[in-house]
């Protein structure tokens, strides 16, 4: 059920400003791909175009093709709501719904997608999702308590549980560990390893060790120059990127010579 | 050997005495301002409570009307006025709240460009409209043009024009306080925009919206000009919002104020002068304050129940 993503000649605009130019890549199903690069190079922007979250911002547009198993998600008859049901997202800062309990947070996607489910079926999904997010044992006795009462790391795992409860085929993660301590980070990284059995995962990270630890493929983004759009410098196997990259710029970034 | 202590970088410097003095002056001024602001408020509450308490604890205050009573007669109740005010404010709230919520949602979640700017501008103007102007407008439309009869529901319509801008403004503020991350989290789950607003944004802002509605109710419950123009005042029971003069608490206050006078009675063998109308006026004022307070508490209760306590 995990799906493959192809980007072809992707140009991403904010209004008239070209933010990211000419991006091509292929992401295999059931793999973890890391997007790395200096701040402002457009890696988060590219990530957000993959589930059409990009266009939530006023004036943001995309040119080119983004194919999910060959189907253009920017096609004229494609409903962005359906795209987002298929491609889930976890954000930089944990953002559980403050008015909802832990249970309701996990069930939110299903409940709000208008599918009427029996309570017993919902119970099963909630438990399965929380187990998959390695959070079940910590919260099983307080499912009715507010999700905002958990620690930051637990909240982020709650958000992951919420994202996978709707059974997406791709999971996008926008710096999911940048607000977390090392122990919570480790928990999330372990989680990514187990999630990739089922999902195609794309993760944006500023932490190069993290990219090296969790991903099979790494894409390096950079600005073409001051005031110029961001671009994809290269995408390759993580091992190759970190040991023997094709591009000099990649090597400079990874070895800490700039950025 | 004598050791000289050298003043370290943290020791008091010549300027720091003056800085502490400034701090004390500023603190004193701020506390004084708080007191000055509190004095009239406490004074007002004390006056209304001390003068109105006798009236509202009297027999039949919450069950009787003022039918046939003059300033020479004791007793009587305020039920006719409480019912009138509650009915008029309730109809006004039922009309205003949905409109105001939708306007605020439009402005925050959808509004772009000239239409949104025009709406904001109109709401601003509406905020500044004096209640007598709103009353005259309703009179001109419904009584003069459509030759309708003066009645309670026309008061409600005039109050709608005063309540909508208050509720729009506060709701708008509250919706803007809802973090964008929550909307994005909901979109990313594949939840459509309208459902995100109904199920995520509104519940998150609910307690603030409730406060805004209560502010709006408090604003209109004490309005007097629309009553004078659009319904008049009746000391009798009239529960019909759509026909005839109707009592109301502000109307009753004004009515008693217009008939102030003292009368002499015998009490324990002595002639004493009593002010029945004045007592009833203060009692009606206290009743109005209590009514708004009760609505406030009710709204807070509803708001706190609609939200998971954290």
Q: What is the pLDDT of residues B106-154, one digit of tens each?
A: 999 998 889 999 999 999 999 889 999 999 999 999 888 887 788 889 9
What ipTM was reported for this prediction? 0.88
> What is the average pLDDT score of chain B?
87
- Please give the distance of CA B192 from its chain centroid, rounded to a whole number: 36
Chosen for mutation from B188, B192, B205, B310 (greatest number of chain A CBs closer than 10 Å) is: B188
Check B188 against A112: CB less than 8 A apart: no
Local confidence band at B44 (pLDDT 50, 70, 90 cut-offs):
very high
Q: Please name the CATH architecture into which domain A5-254 falls.
A: 3-Layer(aba) Sandwich (3.40)
Tens digits of per-residue pLDDT, B52-107? 888 888 788 888 777 877 777 777 888 888 899 999 999 999 999 999 999 999 99
* pLDDT above 90 for B27: yes
Domain boundaries in chain A?
Answer: 5-254
- Per-residue model confidence (pLDDT) at position B1: 52
C-alpha B176/C-alpha A68 separation (Å) is: 35
How far apart (Å, rounded) are the C-alpha atoms in residues B73 and B259?
A: 12
CB within 8 Å: B188 and A81: no
| A139: exposed, middle or buried (Cβ count in 10 Å: 0-12, 13-18, 19+) | buried
Taking CA atoms, B174 is separated from B101, B105, B163, in Å, by 11, 10, 17
Distance in angstroms (rounded) separating the CA atoms of residues A158 and A130: 7
> Is A23 in contact with A231 (CB distance < 8 Å)?
yes
Determine how β-strand B270-274 pairs with β-strand B263-267.
antiparallel
Handedness of CA B148, B149, B152, B154 (dihedral sign): positive
The per-residue b/e assignment along A3-15, b for 16 or more CB within 10 angstroms, e otherwise, is bbbbbeebebbee
Beta bridge partners of A7: A25, A66
**Cβ-based neighbour number of residue B147 at 10 Å:** 7
Question: With a CB-CB cutoff of 8 Å, which residues 66-125 of chain A face chain B?
Answer: 81-86, 88-89, 91, 93, 95-101, 108-109, 112-114
- What is the pLDDT at residue B308? 43
pLDDT for B310: 35
Question: What share of chain B has pLDDT > 70, as a percent?
Answer: 94
Locate the domains of chain B by residue range: 79-305
Q: How far apart are CA B256 and CA B135, in angstroms?
A: 22
B196-251 pLDDT, tens digit each: 999 999 999 988 898 889 888 988 988 889 988 888 888 888 888 888 888 889 98
Written as one string, the DSSP assignment of A78-138 is --HHHHHHHEEEE-SS----TTSBHHHHHHHHHHHTT----HHHHHHHHHHHHHHTT-HHH
The single-letter DSSP state of residue A31 is -
pLDDT, averaged in runs of 10, over chain A (259 residues)? 84 89 90 90 90 87 88 88 90 90 91 79 90 88 89 90 89 88 86 88 90 91 83 89 87 78
**Percent of chain B whose predicted confidence (pLDDT) is above 90:** 44
pLDDT score at A229: 86
Distance CA B89, CA B163 (A): 10
pLDDT at residue B156, as a whole number: 94
Question: Which of A181-185, B268-272, B290-294 holds the top average pLDDT?
Answer: B290-294
Considering only the beta carbons, identify the residue of B189, B206, B309 that sits closest to A112: B189
Residue B157: pLDDT over 70 = yes
| Burial A149-164, CB ≥16 within 10 A → b, else e | bbeebbbbbbbbbbbb
**B60 in contact with chain A, both atoms CB, cutoff 8 A:** no
Contact B94, B157 (CB under 8 A): no
Given a cut of 60, whether residue B307 has pLDDT beyond it is no
Q: Which of A97, A148, A178 to mutate to test the interface with B (most CBs of B within 10 A)?
A: A97
Phi-psi region of B252 (alpha: psi -120 to 50; beta: other; left: phi over 0): alpha
Angle between helices A182-195 and A119-132 (to 10 degrees): 120
User: DSSP states of A229-242 as a string?
Assistant: PEEEEEEEEHHHHH
Give yes or no for a contact between A39 and A92, defined as CB atoms under 8 angstroms apart: no
Inter-chain touch B308–A99, beta carbons under 8 Å: yes
Judged by CB atoms within 8 Å, which residues 206-235 of B form the interface with A?
206
Architecture of domain B79-305: Orthogonal Bundle (1.10)
Distance CA(B201)–CA(B137), nearest Å, equals 36
Of the pLDDT bands very low, low, confident and very high (cuts 50, 70, 90), residue B6 is low
């Amino acid at each position: 059920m995990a799906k493959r993503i192809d980007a072809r000649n992707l140009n991403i605009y904010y209004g008239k400003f070209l933010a990211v130019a000419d991006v091509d890549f292929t992401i295999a199903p059931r793999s973890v791909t890391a997007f790395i690069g200096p701040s402002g190079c457009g890696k988060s922007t590219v990530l957000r175009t993959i589930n059409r979250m990009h266009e939530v911002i006023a004036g943001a547009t995309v040119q080119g093709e983004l194919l999910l198993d060959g189907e253009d998600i920017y096609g004229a008859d494609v409903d962005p709501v359906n795209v987002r049901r298929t491609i889930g997202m976890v954000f930089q800062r944990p953002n559980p719904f403050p008015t909802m309990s832990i249970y309701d947070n996990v069930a939110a996607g299903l409940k709000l997608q208008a599918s009427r489910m029996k309570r017993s079926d919902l119970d099963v999904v909630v438990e399965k999702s929380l187990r998959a997010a390695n959070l079940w044992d910590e919260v099983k006795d307080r499912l009715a308590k507010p999700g905002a009462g958990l620690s930051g790391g637990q909240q982020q795992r709650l958000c992951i549980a919420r994202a996978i409860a709707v059974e997406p085929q791709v999971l996008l993660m926008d710096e999911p560990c940048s607000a977390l301590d090392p122990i919570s980070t480790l928990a999330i990284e372990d989680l990514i390893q187990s999630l990739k059995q089922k999902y195609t995962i794309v993760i944006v990270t500023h932490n190069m060790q993290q990219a090296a630890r969790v991903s099979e493929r790494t894409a390096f983004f950079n600005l073409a120059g001051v005031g110029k759009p961001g671009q994809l410098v290269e995408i390759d196997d993580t091992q190759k990127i970190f040991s023997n990259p094709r591009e000099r710029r990649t090597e400079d970034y990874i070895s800490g010579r700039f950025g | 050997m004598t050791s000289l202590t050298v003043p370290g970088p943290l020791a008091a410097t010549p300027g720091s005495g003056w800085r502490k003095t400034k701090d004390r002056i500023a603190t004193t001024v701020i506390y004084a301002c708080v007191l000055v602001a509190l004095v009239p408020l406490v004074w007002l509450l004390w006056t209304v409570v001390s003068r109105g308490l006798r009236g509202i604890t009297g027999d039949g205050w919450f069950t009787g009307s003022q039918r046939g009573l003059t300033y020479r007669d004791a007793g009587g109740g305020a039920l006719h006025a409480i019912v009138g005010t509650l009915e008029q404010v309730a109809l006004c709230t039922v009309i205003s709240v949905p409109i105001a919520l939708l306007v605020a949602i439009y402005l925050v979640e959808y509004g772009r460009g000239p239409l949104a700017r025009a709406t904001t501008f109109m709401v601003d103007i509406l905020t500044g409209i004096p209640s007598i102007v709103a009353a005259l407008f309703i009179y001109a439309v419904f009584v003069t043009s459509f030759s309708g009869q003066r009645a309670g529901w026309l008061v409600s319509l005039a109050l709608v024009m005063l309540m909508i801008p208050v509720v729009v403004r506060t709701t708008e503020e509250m919706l803007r306080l809802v973090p964008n991350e929550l909307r994005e989290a909901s979109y990313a789950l594949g939840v459509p925009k309208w459902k995100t607003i109904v199920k995520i944004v509104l519940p998150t802002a609910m307690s603030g919206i409730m406060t805004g509605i209560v502010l709006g109710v408090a604003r209109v419950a004490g309005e007097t000009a629309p009553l004078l123009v659009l319904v008049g005042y009746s000391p009798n029971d009239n529960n019909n919002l759509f026909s005839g003069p109707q009592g109301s608490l502000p109307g009753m206050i004004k009515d008693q104020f217009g008939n102030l006078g003292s009368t002499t009675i015998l009490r324990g063998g002595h002639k004493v002068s009593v002010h029945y109308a004045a007592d009833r006026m203060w009692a009606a004022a206290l009743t109005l304050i209590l009514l708004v307070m009760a609505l406030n508490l009710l709204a807070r209760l509803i708001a706190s129940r609609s939200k998971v306590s954290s």
